[in-house]
Amino acid sequence: MKRKVCLMFLFCVILLSVPAVYGQGVKGGPDPSTIRDPELEKDSLHNLEVARNYFKLKKAYVAALNRLEEIIAGNPTFSRIEEVYLMAGQSCLWLAEGKGKQRSEQYKAARTPEQFREMGREYLSRLVNEYPNGQYTKTAEEQLRALGGPLPKEDRP
């Protein structure tokens, strides 16, 4: 009888200690680069939707660029930052070409077409360099070919 009680006790100790031992194999926590503030993500997503509306439907590239730059400055770890870089780059390139319903002079700082082209190249280069396997990378690479290719990482601010 004592033997059965001892075996039962030993079995319970082993059974209860397995989860503790198993849990010790976990190292660290979530990757800090993927920890996102839900409120900031929500705000950035709203800005992206507004920018997408300006960009695609209204052809208002200055307004779209302003919203996109707000996302880049305020939430650089945004879950959809690749799309933000692509749209910001395209907005700059199209402003340089005089496309859209807004004049480039409406942008917050006076820029020449060459400066807009360089801004666009910087945004698209950032996309290509930081997300080489991203879903928008091929599109960015195609547009960068006409501009002389992407800028190396160290040339960007």
Asked if the structure places residue 30 within a domain, the reply is no
Q: Are 65 and 107 in contact (CB under 8 A)?
A: yes
CATH number at 51 reads 1.25.40.10
What is the tens place of the pLDDT at every residue in 41-89? 999 999 999 999 999 999 999 999 999 999 999 999 999 999 999 999 9
pLDDT category of residue 21 using cuts at 50, 70 and 90: very low
Asked if the structure places residue 9 within a domain, the reply is no
Q: Is 99 helix (H, G, I), strand (E, B) or coil?
A: coil
The verdict on pTM exceeding 0.95 is: no
Range of the domain at 108: 37-155
Q: How many CB atoms lie within 10 A of CB 131?
A: 16
Asked if the structure places residue 12 within a domain, the reply is no
Asked if the structure places residue 8 within a domain, the reply is no
Rounded-to-integer distance, Cα 21 and Cα 99, Å: 63
Asked if the structure places residue 141 within a domain, the reply is yes
Domains in the chain, number: 1
